[in-house]
Structure 1
Amino acid sequence: MVQGIVLLGVLLIPFLTYAHVKWFAEVKPERESIENILSPLFISVALLCAVLLAVLSQVMHKLTDFAFAKRIDLWLEKRRAYSHQLLKYGTALALLLQVFSGTTFAPEFHIAHTWETVLMWAAIILLVIPHHISTKLGAIVLFILFVNVTMTAGWFHMLDYGFYLAIIGVLLVGKTKWEDWGFPFLYLGTGLSLCWVAVEKWVFPNMTHQIIQHHHVPTFGFPADTFTVLAAFIEFVVGYLLVVGILNRILAVVVTILFILTTMIFGYTEIVGHAMVHIVLLIFIIEGVSFYQPPIQMHKTKLDQMVFVFLNFIFVLSTFLLIYYRFA
C-alpha cells in the first residue's frame, strides 16, 4: 500500500516540481480568495493526506526492511564522513553556476553591482580552500550576500530560500561543539522551504496555471486548477516528512529524480536554480535519519502516534496557509 502511495505521488508530479513558479511564470500573481482556497477538494485532500501520513508512520519501517534496502543503507552509512565536504564543495559549485548566469541564490535575483560579483567569487574561493576557518569565512560572506538580497527582495520573498540560511548555519558550526546540530537544522530548513513554496501554488494559482499552459505540462486529464492543488499538496507533504524525519532517503531520491526531469522542460534555468537543492538532497540520501528522533516517538501506543501525526499535519498546514495568506 505504501509503495502505491509513493508511486501515486511520483505520477502526480512528474514535471511539476518547479518549486519556484516565480522563475517561469510570465503573469502577475493574483491572490486567490481564502474561500476558493479552502474548497471541498482542498479540505478533502488535506484530510486524506493526514490519514495517509498517520498510517505511514506505522508502516514506514517495512519500506527499509528488505535485505537489498539494508545493504544500500549500510553502503550509505559508510559515506557519511563525506557529507560535510559534499555540502562545502557543492555550495561552491552552485555559486559558480550562479555567477556564470549573472544571478545570486536564484534565477530571479540578478547581480546588479560589481561588488556582488566580487563577494560571490570570494565565497567560492573560501569554500574551496580545505580549512574549516576558510569555510566559516565563506559562510559569513554568503550570509552578507543573503542579507543584501533580502533587503532588496523583502523577507517574505526570501522565505522561499530559507534553506540557504540552514546551509550557512551548517558551514558555520563545522568543527565546533555544535556540529551535530548542523544537519538536523538543514533538514528543518529545507523541509520548511518546500512547505512554504507549496503554499504559494494555492495562494497564487494563476502563475502555476500559466506555466502548465505555456510549457504544456501533462496533467493526466485533471483540470489545471485541480492538478495545481494536488501538486502543491504533494510538495507540502514532502517538506513535512523531511521536517518530521520520515522516509528521508526515499523522499530525497524521489525528489531528486523529479528535479532532474524538470530540466527537460525548463532547461538551464532549472539547473542553476536547483543545483543547491540537488546537493542538499544528495546529502539527505547519504545521511538518512539516524541522527533524528522523530517526535512521534514521544507517544507510546500506535493509536496515540497516529492521532499525533494526523493532528500535527493539520495544524502545520493551517499555520503555513494562514501566515502566507496574511502577508502575501
Structure 2
Amino acid sequence: MRKLFIAILLLGVIVSPFFTDAHVKWFTEVAPEKETIENILSPLFIFLTLLAALVLAFLAILIPKTGQWPIIKKWDDKLSSLRKYSRTILKYGTAIALIIQVTSGTLFAPEFHLHHTIATIAVWLVVGFLLIPHHLATKIGALILLGLFIYITAENGIFHMLDYGFYVAIIGVLLVGNTKWEKVGFPFLYLGTGLSLCWVAVEKWVYPGMSLDIVANHHVPTFGFAPAVFIVMAAFIEFVVGYLLVVGILNRVLGFVVTVIFIMTTMLFGFTEIIGHFMIHIVLIIFIIEGVSFYNPPIKMHKTKVDQFIFVFLNFLFVISTFVLIYYRFA
C-alpha cells in the first residue's frame, strides 16, 4: 500500500503541467473563443472524468490508512504544533501579497489594474491595518478589503471575479477571528479555495484556444502529448486539486505538491506569476500546517468504505458536470 501511495504521488508530480494552476488570461492576448459543448464533452474528456472519479474514490479509502504510518504521524505532530501561527501567517501573508500587487499597480490579479488614487490609498490602508497586531485592526482591514473586492467586482463582473473567490474566504477568516464563529473560518477557506480552483480549471476546457497559445508561445513542455490533449489533462489536474480541497482528502500532501507546482510555474512565467499566486502560496502553507483537524469533510457523513467510495465517485461526476454546464452557460 505504501508503494502504491508513493507511486500515485510521483505520478501526480510527473504529469502535473507547469501551467496547471496558471490563469490563462494573464499570459495570452488571444481573444477568448468558446468551444462547442460537443467538443468539450469529447471521448477523452468522458474517459478522464470516469478515471478521475475512480481514482478519487480509491484515494478516499486508502489515504486515511497512511495516517497510521510512523513517519506520517511524526510529521503530523510537528505540523500540528505550528497551528497556533496559522492566522498570523494568513494575516501578514495577505499584507505582503497586497504590497506586491499594489506596487505593481494591480489588485487581486495581474489583469485588475488600479486606475484611481483612492483605490490605491485604500489598499495601503488595508496593509497598514493588517500589520497592526490587534484583532480589531485586522477586522477593519478586512472590511476595507471586502469593499475593494466589491469595487473590482462592479468593474469586471461577478462571473470574472469567481476566479478569485478565495479572497472572499480569506476576508471571512480575518473577520471571524476572536469571535464565536472563529472555528468556521478555515473550513470556509478550504471551500472557497477549492471552488476557485475548480472554476478556473473549467476555463481551459471552454476556451482552449488561449491555453494553446500559451503552450506555443511559452514553450510549455507537453510531455509527449498533443497540445490539445495536454490542455484537457492539465485542466483535470487543476479541477481535481480543487475538488480534493473541498471534500477533505489528502490536504497536507496535496498542499505540498501544489506548492511545488506553483514554484515551477513561477520559474516559467516569472513575476506575473508571483503577483497572481503569492496569496495562493500563503493559503497552501496554511493547509499544510492545519491538515483537516478542524474540518469535518463531507465524506465523513458516510461510515462504511463502500459508501464513501460510491459517494466520492458519484459526487465528483455531479460536481464536474455542474461546473462545466454553469460555466458554459454564462461564459
What TM-score range do you get, normalising by the shorter chain? Answer: over 0.9
Would you say 1:3 and 2:6 are equivalent positions? yes
What is residue 320 of structure 1 aligned with on the other side? 323
SS at match of 2:264: helix
SS at match of 2:194: helix
Match of 2:22 among 5, 10, 19: 19
Residue 17 of structure 2 contacts residue 234 of structure 2 at CA under 8 Å; is this kept in 1?
no
Taking the TM superposition and a 5 Å limit, the aligned residue runs for 1:212-231 are 212-231=215-234
Q: Counterpart of 2:144 in structure 1: which amino acid?
A: V
Query: Distance between the aligned counterparts of 1:327 and 1:137, measured in 2?
Result: 34
Comparing 174-183 with 289-298, greater Cα deviation is found at: 289-298
What is residue 260 of structure 1 aligned with on the other side? 263
Query: Distance between the aligned counterparts of 2:330 and 2:9, measured in 1?
Result: 33
Quote how far apart the aligned CAs of 1:109 are. 0.4
Runs (5+) with no aligned partner, structure 2:
none
SS at match of 1:89: helix
Q: Counterpart of 1:136 in structure 2: which amino acid?
A: K
Would you say 1:121 and 2:158 are equivalent positions? no
Taking the TM superposition and a 5 Å limit, the aligned residue runs for 1:212-291 are 212-291=215-294
Q: Counterpart of 2:25 in structure 1: which amino acid?
A: K
What is residue 112 of structure 1 aligned with on the other side? 115
Question: What percentage of aligned pairs have identical amino acids?
Answer: 65
Query: Distance between the aligned counterparts of 1:277 and 1:85, measured in 2?
Result: 16
Query: Distance between the aligned counterparts of 1:184 and 1:169, measured in 2?
Result: 11
Count of aligned pairs:
328
What is residue 87 of structure 2 aligned with on the other side? 84
**Aligned-residue CA RMSD in angstroms?**
0.9
SS at match of 2:110: strand
Query: Distance between the aligned counterparts of 1:133 and 1:16, measured in 2?
Result: 39
1:209-240 deviations in Å (ceiling 9; x for gaps): 10001000000110011000111001100100
What is residue 185 of structure 1 aligned with on the other side? 188
Q: CA 1:212–1:63 in structure 2 vs 1: closer, same or farther (change >3 Å)?
A: farther
What is residue 41 of structure 1 aligned with on the other side? 44
What is residue 156 of structure 2 aligned with on the other side? 153
Quote how far apart the aligned CAs of 1:25 are. 1.3
Residue 250 of structure 1 contacts residue 285 of structure 1 at CA under 8 Å; is this kept in 2?
yes
Match of 2:54 among 51, 56, 70: 51
Quote how far apart the aligned CAs of 1:62 are. 3.3
SS at match of 1:234: helix
Match of 2:70 among 61, 67, 71: 67
Query: Distance between the aligned counterparts of 2:47 and 2:245, measured in 1?
Result: 23
1:106-151 deviations in Å (ceiling 9; x for gaps): 0000110100110010000000000111000000110111011001
1:185-215 deviations in Å (ceiling 9; x for gaps): 0000000000000000000001111000100
Quote how far apart the aligned CAs of 1:72 are. 1.1
